[in-house]
Structure 1
Amino acid sequence: MSDAFTVYIRNGERVLLMQRADGVADFPGAWDGIYGIGDTEDLDAVVARVTEVTGIGADNLQYVRAGGARGLAYENRLNEVTPILFVSSVEEVDARGLYKGYEWIDPGRIQEREYSTPQLRDMYGDVASYLYILKTSIGQEQNVAREVRARLSGSGSLKEIQDEIFGVLSPHFMRGYIFVEASA
């Protein structure tokens, strides 16, 4: 068990990244999840840390899963850090404490951050959702995507798994396919 964690928060199809303050000892100005020290299995303490640095209240955070601990190099020491995923419907963040800024981004763009904490993208991948590819008839992508969304909402036949689906995507450059992003 590790004694540190990095929390990732999903909101719809985006993930929250926090920018560390310039005056912090480790990785000043780097992009990060929400870093904390403590028992990773004590979710109340983890949520308290998230609220402390983001202003997002416990009632707006839903635990999804935790990944395995990774050894990350911080200066001249190795820290065991556990990635943890939460979902929130709140977009407003008040960056404070260790952080000076934040941004909600497409998870596929995490690796584009030039300066970030070690293995930021890989740790998110340990707790991220899965992408399911559905083959459709060419030209029917939008119709099938709308049908899946309709079945997920209201009293549709997929309503029971609504909380497990993060997004239904139909990229214009992939004719004949739609993508469903869901938890494991």
Structure 2
Amino acid sequence: MAHVVTCFVRYRGRVLLVRRSDSVGTFPGRWDGVSGYVEGDPAAAEDDARRELREEVGLGDGEVELVRVGAPLDASTAEGEFTVHPFLFEAETAETTTNEEVAEAEWTDPTTVLEREAVPQLWEAWRRVAPTLPTVREDRTHGSAWIAARALETLRDAAADDDADDWESAARTARKLRDARPNMAAVSNRVNRAIATAERTPESVRERCVTLLRESIDATDAAAANAAERLADSEATTLATLSRSGTVRATVAESDPEAVVVAESRPEREGVGVAEWVASETDARATLTTEAALPTALSELDVDAAVVGADAVLPDGRVVNKTGTTALALAAREAGVPLYAVAARDKVRPAGDDWTADEGEASDAVYDGTESVSVFAPTFEATPADLVDAVVTETGLEDADDVRRIAEEHAENAAWDESGP
């Protein structure tokens, strides 16, 4: 049985599909991921996957990041017996350079596989690397915008499955996704909108997820652009931030500051990766500090503005974000430095939806000794509204009335289910 790799490459929520040319030996004219034979040990099939990406579509190792390796599946076809090794990569660019094995390449929604003449079991291969409920529930690496996008993908794919023969099947998946990350408003808001604004059919839910996924990515970009414009208007050239946030990264890239000060973000220290990104991917000087040293850093390093993301914005204007945000906000207020929270409107929690601090999932990183020491290390906290100079979204700067109105809209969407948000 021949072993082959099938690579799915995702960029901004779309997946690269290729139509096989007449020069290939099997399945000419059919749609596929980027695929090819395993030339060595199947256990090292990732090497073959990366080779095919380079050869067929011109995506080198520096332009793609491996996201997930799926369990192999067997495909019995008229053209032979194959063991398919699925891979999912995230691309940093949509630019491709195809070779003679590719007749056509298209960035599209992966559910279009079900509507095209594709190689056997291509949808099944996608499902083995696609986002799932555990992806949404267990991810501790990415920010809420990224996780919310994976929630929409999970709901979209569930609605597209052959066994999703009624609306209630999609609704059951939506309820699980909605409740998977209670502190991340974008997850529940986007799932609720997909169901509330769709007709009561799986196909309509799928179509709404496709549309909302693209809109949500655009919203993050627009919020970052608005924040960058605000920073330019205030002539801010040195920024301070903490933790990780895709929206803050986009703001930094858009605003092109001279320097960025990043707090390490105890206890998981994900701010270290942010500082490394600033150093490697921007022209700004990167300085890593601690939350405890932030007040001194703001003055000694001449910080002009502080920028944070938000896992949620509460209806009363409080900003829920990584613990340390309130310390940064207080230090910024003392130093006369404005603090902006940058977030898409979908991060505003619905009116009437309560928020409670978590109990500290990373407590072992704070103390792993044997004495009777209790640890208080919540991951998120709510920073008071009066410490935040502005909440910047895709539509601009939102005041208290704007936030309340957005919260009411989200509450209306959440009402699709009698069990509530």
TM band (smaller chain): 0.7 to 0.9
Are 1:27 and 2:23 matched, yes or no? no
Normalising by structure 2, what TM-score?
0.34
Cα distance, 1:135 vs structure 2:
4.4
Question: How far apart are the structure 1 equivalents of 2:125 and 2:76?
Answer: 13
- Structure 1 residue runs without a partner (length 5+): 161-167, 178-184
**Within 2, Cα distance between the matches of 1:125 and 1:92?**
25
Judge which range, 92-101 or 52-61, deviates more. 92-101
The aligned counterpart of 2:126 is 124
CA distance in 2, matches of 1:111, 1:122: 10
For 1:31 and 1:12, how far apart are their aligned partners in 2? 20
Residues 92-149 of structure 1: CA distance to partner in whole angstroms, max 9, x if unpaired?
1122142111000012322111x110111121111011323454598xx99xx79x95
What pairs up with 1:25-174 in 2 under 5 angstroms? Answer: 25-38=25-38, 39=42, 41-113=44-116, 115-130=117-132, 131=151, 132-133=177-178, 134-136=187-189, 149=220, 152-154=246-248, 155-158=308-311
- Larger RCO (CA within 8 A; separation ≥ 6): 1
Larger Rg: 2
Structure (1 or 2) with the greater strand fraction: 1
| CA distance in 2: counterparts of 1:42 and 1:67, whole angstroms | 11
Instruction: Provide the rounded CA distance (Å) in 2 between the counterparts of 1:36 and 1:117.
Output: 13
In 2: Cα distance, 1:62 partner to 1:76 partner: 32
User: Residue type matched to 2:309 in 1?
Assistant: G
Aligned residues: 158
CA distance in 2, matches of 1:55, 1:135: 37
Q: What residue in structure 2 maps to residue 176 of structure 1?
A: 413
State the distance in 1 between where 2:79 and 2:130 align: 29
3-state SS of 2:75 partner: strand
- 1:5-58 deviations in whole A, cap 9, x for unaligned? 101000011000011002323111000001122235343332122110101121
Q: Which aligned runs of 4 or more in structure 1 are off by greater than 4 angstroms?
A: 134-138, 148-152, 157-160
> In percent, how many aligned pairs have the same letter?
26
1:18/1:76 Cα in 2 relative to 1: closer, same or farther (>3 Å)?
A: closer
Q: TM-score, normalised by structure 1?
A: 0.72
Q: Which amino acid aligns with 1:87?
A: E
SS at match of 2:92: coil
Deviation at 1:78, TM superposition (A): 1.3
Structure-1 separation of matches of 2:24 and 2:92? 29
Q: Distance in 1 between matches of 2:27 and 2:120?
A: 9
Shift of 1:76: 4.5
Query: Which 5+ residue runs of structure 2 have no aligned equivalent?
Result: 133-150, 152-176, 179-186, 198-211, 224-244, 249-307, 312-320, 323-343, 347-411, 415-421
Q: Which amino acid aligns with 1:28?
A: P
